[in-house]
C-alpha cells in the first residue's frame, strides 16, 4: 500500500469518496487564501516584466512544485511556458533539446539542423511569443548551465530588446549557486527571490479540513483540534509532511489505534451506565429482538412488493492535475543523455503555500480619561474655562487618516504621481476586502493606496506604499518596513508601470 493512499474499506469507514492526501491531486484539492496567493502573484508580475531571473525557493516539502503549477495555470494566457524538471548532471544541450521539442511547431520559420538555443528563442520572440522556461528542481543544475542560460538571455536582449522569462524553482541552495554565477558575469543579472514559507497552525487546520472536504467528507469532527495541533507540530507546517502526518492519523482511526469523536462519545455513554458497554445493558437483548422482528417484516413486504430500487456503489473518481495548453506533437528525435522530461507540468507534493503575514493586532481604542476633580482654591470665583476653538474644515473631501500619519489615497492620487518616481508594492490579491483590511491594519505611516487591475480576465487588487524620487530610495524604504510586511516579498515599482496596469 502506498504511503499516500488509504484502502477502500478505510475510505468507506471514514465517509470519504477519494484519497484526501495523495501527493498528486486535482485542482479542487488546492488550498488557497490571500496570503498563499502572494508568491504566485509576485512571480507572475516579475515574469511579465521579464527583467529579472525569478527564483521560487523553499525547503523540501514546502510545496514549491504546487506553486509552480499555479503559476503555469494563471499565467498561460499571457505567457508561453515550457516547464520541466531538472536532473543532476544535465547539460545545456539537454535543455536545448527539451525546449526545441516543446516549441518546434511554434517556430515561425523552419530551419535546417539544430540551431542554437539563442537563435531559436529569438525567432519565437520576434514571432510574437513570450517564452518562459520554468525549471523545477533547479538546484540540481550545474553552475555552468545556469551561467549559459543567463548569458543567452542577455544576448537575446541585445538583439531584440526582449528577454525570455526564466523561472527557477528549487531548494535554498539555488540562490547561492546563482550568486556565485552572477559574480563571474560581465553584466550581473537582476534577480528576484520569492520564498515559499511553511503554514501557520491556523492554516494547517484549514488545509487539512479543505482536503478532507474535497475528498467527500461531510462531517466536521473527524480530526479534533488537538490532533490538528499534533499534525502541525510534527510537520513543522510543511504541506508535504502535513499530508504524511494526516494520513497516519486516518490510518490509526481505521485500524482502531485512535478514536474519533463519535467513538469517544460511545465510550462516555458506557461510562455513564456504570462502566458497562451498551450491549451489556439489560435492555439490549429485548431491543435487538424487536429490531429483528421489524427487519423480518420489512424484508417480507419488500419481497412481496418487488421493488427494483438498488443502491449504487460510490466509486472514487481519478484525480487529474491541470494540464498545460496542448501543443502539437513534435517529430521524434534521439534525446541527448539525461535530457529532462519536457512539456508536462511538474508533479510533486500537493499542495503547499507560504505562511501568511501574521494578522495585525487591532489597535485598541484609548479609554477616555476621567476628568480631574477640581481642587479647592482660596479664590472666591473660578475663572471660566475658555471655549475650544472650532477646527477649520479643509476644502474638498477630507482624506481618511489612520494610524497616526497613515493616509489612505485613492486611484486619482496614483494617476497624479510622476511616472518616473517609484513606490513599494506590498501585495496583490483577488480579494479587495482583504487588501483594504491589510491597508487599514498595517503599521504604515505615510501614503498607502490600492488599485484594481485585470489579469486573466479577473479583477486583482494591488496595494502600494509611499512615493520616492528614485529606485534606491524606494529599496531603502523596504528595509524599514515591519517584519510581518517584509514576509510578503514587497518590491519597488515605478508609478508609470502602476498607471499602465490600472484598470479603468
Per residue in 254-284, pLDDT (tens digit) is: 987 554 444 444 444 444 444 444 445 555 5
Number of domains composing the chain: 3
Co-location of 59 and 140 in the same domain: yes
Where a domain ends, among 195, 216, 241? Answer: 195
Co-location of 15 and 139 in the same domain: no
Q: Which helix (H) or strand (E) holds 459?
A: strand 458-468
Co-location of 57 and 22 in the same domain: no
Residue 455 domain boundaries? 407-501
Assess contact for 461 and 430: CB atoms under 8 A. Answer: yes
Co-location of 210 and 161 in the same domain: no
263 φ, ψ (degrees, to nearest 5): -65, -40
Per residue in 81-108, pLDDT (tens digit) is: 999 999 888 898 899 989 988 888 877 6
Residue-wise burial string across 280-293, b where 16 or more C-beta atoms lie within 10 A, e elsewhere: eeeeeeeeeeeeee
DSSP state of 6: -
92 φ, ψ (degrees, to nearest 5): -65, -30
Co-location of 55 and 186 in the same domain: yes
Q: CATH no. for residue 152?
A: 3.40.50.300
Co-location of 160 and 20 in the same domain: no
CA-nearest of 486, 492, 503, 479 to 421 is 492
3-class DSSP assignment, residue 108: coil
Co-location of 191 and 44 in the same domain: yes
In a domain, 465, yes or no: yes
As a whole number, mean pLDDT of residues 455-461 equals 79
As a whole number, mean pLDDT of residues 225-233 equals 93
User: Would the pLDDT of 438 be above 80?
Assistant: yes
Where a domain ends, among 160, 195, 230? Answer: 195
What pLDDT, on a 0 to 100 scale, did the predictor assign at position 4? 67
Q: CATH no. for residue 442?
A: 3.30.70.1070
Distance set, CA 82 to CA 50, 105, 283, 292 (Å): 15, 13, 70, 65
As a whole number, mean pLDDT of residues 372-389 equals 47
pTM: 0.55
Which is more confidently placed, 312 or 485? 485
CA of residue 409 relative to chain centroid, distance: 28
Q: Label residue 149 by pLDDT band (50, 70, 90).
A: very high
Average pLDDT, the chain: 74
Alpha helices in 161-256 (DSSP H): 173-183, 201-214, 225-235, 239-254
Co-location of 157 and 58 in the same domain: yes
Q: Label residue 445 by pLDDT band (50, 70, 90).
A: confident
As a whole number, mean pLDDT of residues 251-255 equals 90
In a domain, 320, yes or no: no
Other C-beta atoms closer than 10 Å to the C-beta of 486 total 14
Where a domain ends, among 236, 256, 276? Answer: 256
In a domain, 291, yes or no: no
Co-location of 17 and 36 in the same domain: no
In a domain, 389, yes or no: no
As a whole number, mean pLDDT of residues 351-355 equals 40
Co-location of 166 and 59 in the same domain: yes
In a domain, 112, yes or no: yes
What pLDDT, on a 0 to 100 scale, did the predictor assign at position 146? 92
Q: Cis before residue 159, ω within 30 degrees of 0?
A: no
User: Would the pLDDT of 57 be above 80?
Assistant: yes
Amino acid at each position: 500500500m502506498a504511503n499516500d493512499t488509504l484502502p477502500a474499506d478505510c475510505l468507506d469507514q471514514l465517509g470519504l469518496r477519494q484519497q484526501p492526501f495523495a501527493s498528486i491531486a486535482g485542482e479542487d484539492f488546492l488550498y488557497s487564501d490571500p496570503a498563499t496567493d502572494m508568491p504566485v502573484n509576485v512571480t507572475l508580475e516579475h515574469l511579465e516584466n521579464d527583467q529579472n531571473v525569478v527564483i521560487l525557493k523553499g525547503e523540501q516539502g514546502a510545496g514549491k512544485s504546487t506553486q509552480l503549477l499555479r503559476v503555469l495555470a494563471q499565467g498561460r494566457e499571457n505567457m508561453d511556458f515550457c516547464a520541466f524538471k531538472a536532473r543532476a548532471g544535465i547539460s545545456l544541450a539537454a535543455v536545448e533539446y527539451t525546449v526545441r521539442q516543446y516549441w518546434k511547431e511554434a517556430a515561425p520559420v523552419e530551419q535546417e539542423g539544430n540551431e542554437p538555443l539563442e537563435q531559436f528563442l529569438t525567432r519565437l520572440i520576434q514571432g510574437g511569443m513570450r517564452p518562459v522556461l520554468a525549471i523545477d528542481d533547479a538546484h540540481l543544475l550545474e553552475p555552468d548551465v545556469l551561467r549559459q542560460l543567463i548569458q543567452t538571455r542577455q544576448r537575446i536582449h541585445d538583439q531584440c530588446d526582449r528577454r525570455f522569462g526564466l523561472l527557477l524553482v528549487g531548494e535554498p541552495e539555488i540562490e547561492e549557486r546563482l550568486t556565485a554565477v552572477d559574480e563571474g558575469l560581465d553584466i550581473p543579472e537582476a534577480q528576484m527571490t520569492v520564498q515559499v514559507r511553511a503554514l501557520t497552525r491556523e492554516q494547517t487546520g484549514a488545509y487539512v479540513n479543505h482536503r478532507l472536504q474535497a475528498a467527500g467528507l461531510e462531517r466536521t469532527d473527524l480530526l479534533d483540534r488537538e490532533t490538528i495541533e499534533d499534525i502541525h507540530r510534527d510537520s513543522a507546517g510543511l504541506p508535504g509532511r502535513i499530508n504524511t502526518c494526516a494520513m497516519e492519523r486516518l490510518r490509526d482511526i481505521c485500524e482502531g489505534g485512535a478514536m474519533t469523536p463519535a467513538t469517544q462519545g460511545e465510550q462516555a455513554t458506557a461510562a455513564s451506565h456504570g462502566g458497562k458497554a451498551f450491549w451489556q445493558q439489560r435492555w439490549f437483548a429485548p431491543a435487538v429482538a424487536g429490531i429483528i422482528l421489524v427487519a423480518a417484516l420489512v424484508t417480507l413486504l419488500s419481497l412481496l412488493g418487488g421493488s427494483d430500487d438498488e443502491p449504487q456503489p460510490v466509486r472514487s473518481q481519478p484525480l487529474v492535475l491541470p494540464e498545460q495548453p496542448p501543443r502539437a506533437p513534435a517529430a521524434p528525435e534521439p534525446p541527448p543523455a539525461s535530457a529532462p522530461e519536457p512539456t508536462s507540468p511538474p508533479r510533486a507534493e500537493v499542495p503547499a503555500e507560504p505562511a501568511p503575514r501574521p494578522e495585525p493586532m487591532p489597535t485598541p481604542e484609548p479609554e477616555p480619561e476621567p476628568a480631574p476633580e477640581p481642587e479647592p482654591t482660596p479664590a472666591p470665583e473660578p475663572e471660566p474655562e475658555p471655549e475650544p476653538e472650532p477646527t477649520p474644515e479643509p476644502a474638498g473631501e477630507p482624506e481618511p487618516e489612520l494610524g497616526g500619519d497613515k493616509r489612505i489615497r485613492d486611484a486619482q492620487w496614483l494617476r497624479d504621481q510622476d511616472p518616473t518616481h517609484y513606490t513599494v508594492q506590498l501585495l496583490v490579491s483577488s480579494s479587495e476586502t482583504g487588501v483594504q483590511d491589510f491597508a487599514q491594519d498595517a503599521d504604515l505611516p505615510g501614503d498607502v493606496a490600492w488599485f484594481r487591475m485585470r489579469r486573466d480576465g479577473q479583477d486583482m487588487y494591488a496595494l502600494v506604499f509611499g512615493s520616492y524620487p528614485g529606485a534606491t530610495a524606494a529599496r531603502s524604504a523596504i528595509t524599514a518596513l515591519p517584519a510581518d510586511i517584509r514576509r510578503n516579498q514587497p518590491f519597488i515599482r515605478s508609478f508609470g508601470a502602476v498607471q499602465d496596469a490600472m484598470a479603468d
